[in-house]
């Protein structure tokens, strides 16, 4: 699993968890699968990491419980992005896009190519 830092203050798994929750509320294993899909298999969350991140994001007010379901006698808890979480993710996306654009521009200057 990559633990690369996306930018100061938000690590890649955190960014991907928020991204996974951006579209719709998802339960624990759903988040793990969504993150894996979004990262094209580069980031595979382990349960301990996922729930540690959910604890932290809940404390920060970025994520909250949406609902609980009982499936085959098991508890599924769905999480959703809060407005604050959406704002943080938006800011992060803009930062990443700005940085990516800047990097691509420099690469074009130095090496040309299709970036």
Partner 1 sequence: MNTRTERRFRRLLWAYPRSYRDHRGAEILTTLMEMAEDGRRPGFHLVLSGLRQRFKLPARRPLAWVAAVLAAAVLGGFGAAAGTWIAWRTASGIPSDREVQALNATLTGIPGGAPLYHETSAQQGPSVAIQADGTADWSASRIRDGLTGAGWRITSFRESEGRIVPGEDMTVSVPVKYGMWTATSGELMLYGDARVVTGSPFTDWASYNIRVWPVEPAVLRPLAMGGTVAGLLAGWLLVAAFARRRLATALAAAGVAAATLPAYRFYREAYEVMTSAHASPYPPYTVDGSHGGMLTLICAVAGLLAIVAAAIVVRPRLADRAGVVPAGVPAPRSQAS
Site residues for partner 1 per CB under 8 A: 27-29, 32, 46-52, 58-59, 64-71, 74-77
The nearest distance, CB 4 to partner 1, in angstroms, is 18
Q: Least distance (Å) from partner 1 to the CB of residue 89?
A: 20
In the complex, the smallest distance separating the C-beta of residue 82 from partner 1, rounded to whole angstroms, is: 10
Q: Which is nearer to partner 1, 64 or 96 (CB)?
A: 64
Q: Taking the CB of residue 103, how many other CB atoms lie within 10 A of it?
A: 11
Q: What is the smallest separation between the CB atom of 37 and partner 1, expressed in angstroms?
A: 13
* Cβ proximity to partner 1, 51 vs 115, nearer residue: 51
24 or 68, CB closer to partner 1? 68
* The two three-digit tokens of residue 35, written as one number: 């993150």
How far is Cα 61 from Cα 88, in angstroms, rounded to an integer? Answer: 10
Rg (CA), the chain: 16
* Residue with Cβ nearer partner 1 (11 or 49): 49
C-alpha 40/C-alpha 1 separation (Å) is: 11
Q: Count CB neighbours of 22 within 10 A.
A: 16
Rounded to whole angstroms, the Cα distance separating 79 from 69 reads: 12
């Amino acid at each position: 699993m990559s633990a690369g830092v996306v930018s100061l203050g938000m690590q890649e798994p955190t960014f991907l968890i928020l991204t996974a929750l951006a579209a719709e509320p998802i339960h624990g294993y759903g988040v793990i699968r969504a993150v894996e899909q979004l990262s094209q298999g580069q980031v595979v969350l382990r349960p301990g990491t996922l729930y540690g991140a959910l604890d932290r994001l809940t404390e920060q007010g970025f994520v909250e419980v949406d609902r609980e379901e009982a499936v085959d006698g098991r508890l599924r808890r769905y999480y959703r992005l809060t407005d604050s979480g959406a704002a943080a993710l938006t800011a992060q996306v803009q930062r990443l896009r700005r940085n990516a654009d800047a990097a691509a521009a420099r690469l074009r200057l130095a090496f040309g190519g299709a970036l």
